[in-house]
């Protein structure tokens, strides 16, 4: 559980247990996530990561016990909420900006999600790390956005479409590659928000036209 990078109480400021700097560690993480995106989880090898980062397999295994634990650590370290800062004061505009933001990283994260596909059901810890790193934070940010809109009275509380907004946003993002072989971009998502999400929430000025 608390395997690495935990700030232990007896460590002095200028001394590290591992000689790997945090930046170096991040290089490993970036490398493994990149390779997963390109070749899939199963095709990624510890040897390949070591080679591409010019470290040695021993170094990797000294820090992390196994491959899934290593990948899980990489996922946790890459945790970032993509549209956390969006708060324009209008739900409509928030959703539009969220679509733009999502379109920008959809290529990277959707691919990661896709490539980890089966590993989700395979390794418990990995699945949890993935959800914690990529899924929950975004869902939570989106839900806060919606709640603010409800609080401002833009959408009635308990509106039936509310609970489906996260699912459809991420759903559309995620199936696009399967449907037409290309990742959803910002324009596509923006169009989706205009044509579906806003109308479903009753947020359009001219509902018919």
Cα separation, 24 vs 29, whole angstroms: 9
Instruction: Rule CB under 8 A: choose which of 29, 41, 70, 183 binds a second copy.
Output: 41
Give alpha helix (H) positions in the chain. 22-39, 46-52, 57-63, 67-77, 91-115, 119-122, 124-130, 136-151, 165-180, 186-192, 198-201
Q: Which stretch binds a second copy (CB under 8 A): 16-24, 37-45, 55-63, 67-75?
A: 37-45
Task: Report what 148 binds from DNA, a second copy, none; CB cut-off 5-8 Å by kind.
Answer: none
Applying CB under 8 A, the site for a second copy has a residue count of 46
Q: How far is the CB of 151 from a second copy (least distance, A)?
A: 20
Cα separation, 78 vs 29, whole angstroms: 8
Site residues for DNA, 23-52, by CB under 7 A, read 43-47, 50
The residues near 139 (Cβ < 8 Å, ≥ 6 apart) are 166, 170
Query: Which letter does DSSP use for residue 164 in this model?
Result: G
The residues near 207 (Cβ < 8 Å, ≥ 6 apart) are 199
Task: Report what 54 binds from a second copy, DNA, none; CB cut-off 5-8 Å by kind.
Answer: DNA
55 near DNA, rule: CB under 7 A: yes
Instruction: Rule CB under 7 A: choose which of 7, 23, 54, 178 binds DNA.
Output: 54
Q: How far is the CB of 200 from a second copy (least distance, A)?
A: 4
Residues that bind DNA (CB under 7 A): 14-15, 17-20, 43-47, 50, 54-59, 61-63, 65-67
């Amino acid at each position: 559980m608390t395997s690495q990078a935990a700030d232990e109480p007896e460590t002095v400021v200028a001394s590290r247990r591992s000689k790997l700097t945090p930046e170096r560690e991040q290089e490993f993480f970036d490398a493994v996530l990149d390779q997963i995106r390109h070749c899939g989880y199963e095709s990624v090898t510890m040897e390949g990561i070591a080679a591409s980062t010019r470290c040695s397999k021993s170094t990797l295994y000294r820090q992390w016990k196994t491959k899934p634990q290593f990948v899980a650590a990489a996922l946790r370290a890459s945790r970032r909420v993509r549209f956390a800062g969006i708060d324009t004061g209008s739900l409509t505009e928030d959703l539009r900006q969220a679509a733009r933001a999502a379109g920008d990283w959809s290529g990277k994260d959707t691919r990661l999600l896709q490539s980890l596909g089966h590993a989700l059901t395979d390794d418990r810890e990995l699945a949890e790390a993935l959800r914690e790193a990529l899924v929950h934070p975004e869902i939570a940010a989106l839900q806060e956005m919606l709640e603010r809109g409800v609080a401002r009275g833009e959408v009635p509380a308990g509106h039936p479409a509310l609970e489906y907004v996260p699912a459809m946003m991420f759903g559309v993002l995620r199936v696009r590659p399967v449907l037409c072989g290309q990742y959803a971009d910002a324009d596509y998502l923006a169009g989706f928000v205009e044509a579906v999400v806003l109308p479903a929430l009753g947020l359009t000025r001219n509902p018919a036209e």
